[in-house]
Structure 1
């Protein structure tokens, strides 16, 4: 078990007043047995009422309106969380694809999460599958080898991708960041028939150090027969245990965006994001990023998740 204190500030600045800002947020920790929420405070400019609901994927989400004219809008989340997962997953590495097919039979959501999107370079994906998915391998083994393949063959490089980067683009660049590696892994696993989902959250500091620690992060959960959802992080080539804190899940990043919305007004906007993660021993990792936006749609927070 470990306790983390996470401070996450999303700040929008406008060059002239805007009004009627309507937003949907997913900054609430995901409710599951692997993490215990000790305290969560949410502070928003103007203190609007936040209407919360549970979305299709089981995420806690909220809607709020900021109607008066304003030049700054901040969404500040202060989270104290205890991760309760063990330091090592007890996976079934003998699980078969026949078992997986049986477990998927009565689950529309698993069937949906096992269907890959159409891409131009599917042949490149099929070539990867011939390397990682030889006949006879278990579901857990294929999943692990997929993560290892991405980790070894794709360079971790900030600044060359954004929230609109496609799997085709990632295959061309052979590089990217956590969001890109998660999307690539999702497509490979789904092409193998393995249900998998995108996860947005935080990666927390440890003594060994990991890429993306102390910032928003993205990884994958795969459905392992006899176990259920198992997290795996291709950016660091590790199974997810008690060093990751989960915010939301979905088919893709769009289902997990921490903030998205619109406003009225011809203003130019600037988005900056601050994230700090404090460990029990007092060590703190923190980072601030500026995110480039297009138009007046307040999306993009997963762009900073991708860029760490």
Structure 2
């Protein structure tokens, strides 16, 4: 599948802004199921400084500064992306239990390498870095802290000797069924304990919830930001710009790699999910953030259009 994506963010200020500095993570990643053909920015006013880099997690980051007075800032990211159809990566040892996966992830690294090679019955060396890298996703992060309450909620999915992939799929299904999608309930600062207590939130909250549950069981999980292609109801005209950013999560399966799950839609991402960035939680992959000097009060408008190319 091929998609053209237009993501426009507009800030209107009540007073002029004299200087702003910003970081944008709005350019799609390259990995095994996704190819970014092109990606560029249209910025108004024109920036005085613009640089691109790759961050610690391998995400594309654009830095820009505007040093002229302005009452409106428009940031538009235009991307052309190919998603390779098909299910996620498959491996004969993806049936390992969650206890085996936890044991590998918690073991000293040399021992963990040996455990995975034994399971794979092969000389498994090229993914040693991925195993080491996955360990950082075992730890608490700014917006996701493991807890007994999260482990308690996840407990129904993690029965003894259950394959990890089955346990996580069940956790995804339960979040989808138990929680109400409610954009009015949470903000970026709403703690996971409130989401769990009231059983309400949005895609960001559900991804954080699943990650917290998995880390509470000693498993590695990361946050994924991006888009999902939306399809209008039959007979309803598709509205340009009416799509939105999306979020889901991935769990690390030793010897197989990262496997993605979307609890908001109760599905494993295949050919309708476009990935922008990943990290420990939302704070690592914020699409657009920065500082502005002046400006007074401001309003924010975001428009996203994900268009499939025939």
TM range (shorter): 0.7 to 0.9
The within-5 A match list for 1:228-307 is 228-280=257-309
The verdict on how the C-alpha distance between 1:41 and 1:274 changes in structure 2, with shifts beyond 3 A counting, is same
8 Å CA contact 2:141–2:280 kept in 1: the answer is no
- Who is 2:83 aligned against? 83
Q: Which runs of 4+ in 1 moved over 4 A?
A: 117-121, 206-209
Note if contact 2:227-2:246 (Cα within 8 Å) is conserved in structure 1.
yes
| Unpaired runs of at least 5, structure 1 | 282-308
Cα distance in 2 for residues equivalent to 1:199 and 1:148: 18
Distance 2:188 2:73 in 1: 21
Name the residue aligned to 1:95: 96
1:111 aligns with 2:135: yes
TM-score, length of structure 2 as denominator length: 0.82
Q: Which moved more, 1:92-101 or 1:253-262?
A: 92-101
Q: Which entry has the higher C-alpha Rg, 1 or 2?
A: 2
State the secondary structure of the residue aligned to 2:246.
strand
Q: Distance in 2 between matches of 1:141 and 1:114?
A: 19
Q: Distance in 1 between matches of 2:66 and 2:8?
A: 17
Is the deviation greater in 45-54 or in 226-235? 45-54
User: Residue 190 of structure 1 aligns with which residue?
Assistant: 215
Shift of 1:68: 0.7
Residue 21 of structure 1 corresponds to 20
The count of aligned residue pairs is 277
Q: Distance in 1 between matches of 2:303 and 2:27?
A: 16
For the structure 1 residues 192 and 85, does the alpha-carbon distance in structure 2 shift closer, same or farther, using more than 3 Å as the test?
farther
* Residue matched to 1:30: 29
Q: Retained in 2: the 8 A contact 1:139–1:194?
A: no
Give the match for residue 6 of structure 1: 5
> Shift in Å at residue 18 of structure 1?
0.7
C-alpha contact (below 8 Å) 1:100/1:224 kept by paired residues: no
CA distance in 1 between counterparts of 2:9 and 2:232 reads: 28
Counterpart CA distance in 1 for 2:301 and 2:163 is 43
1:170 corresponds in structure 2 to 195
Q: Which moved more, 1:126-135 or 1:91-100?
A: 91-100
Distance 1:224 1:120, change over 3 A: closer
More moved, 126-135 vs 100-109: 100-109
**Residue 214 (structure 1) shift:** 3.0
Render the CA deviation track for 1:85-115: whole Å, top value 9, x for unaligned.
4145536541233255436653553222112
In structure 2, C-alpha distance between the alignment counterparts of 1:103 and 1:124, rounded to whole Å: 22
Worse-matched range after superposition: 155-164 or 103-112: 103-112
Considering Cα pairs closer than 8 Å and 6+ residues apart, tell me whether 1 or 2 has the greater RCO.
2
1:25-72 C-alpha deviation (Å, 9 max, x unpaired): 111111212111222221111332421111111101121110111011
Q: Quick one: structure 1 residues 120 and 223, their matched pair in 2 at CA, closer, same or farther if it must change by over 3 Å?
A: closer
Structure 2: any 5+ residue segments left out of the alignment? 110-130, 235-241
Alignment of 1:216 onto 2:240: no
The Cα offsets for residues 251-291 of structure 1, whole Å up to 9 and x where unpaired, read as 1101110111111115111111001111235xxxxxxxxxx
CA contact (8 A) 1:51 1:64 kept: yes
Equivalent in the alignment of 2:124 = none
TM superposition score normalised by structure 1? 0.83
> Which has the larger displacement, 21-30 or 119-128?
119-128
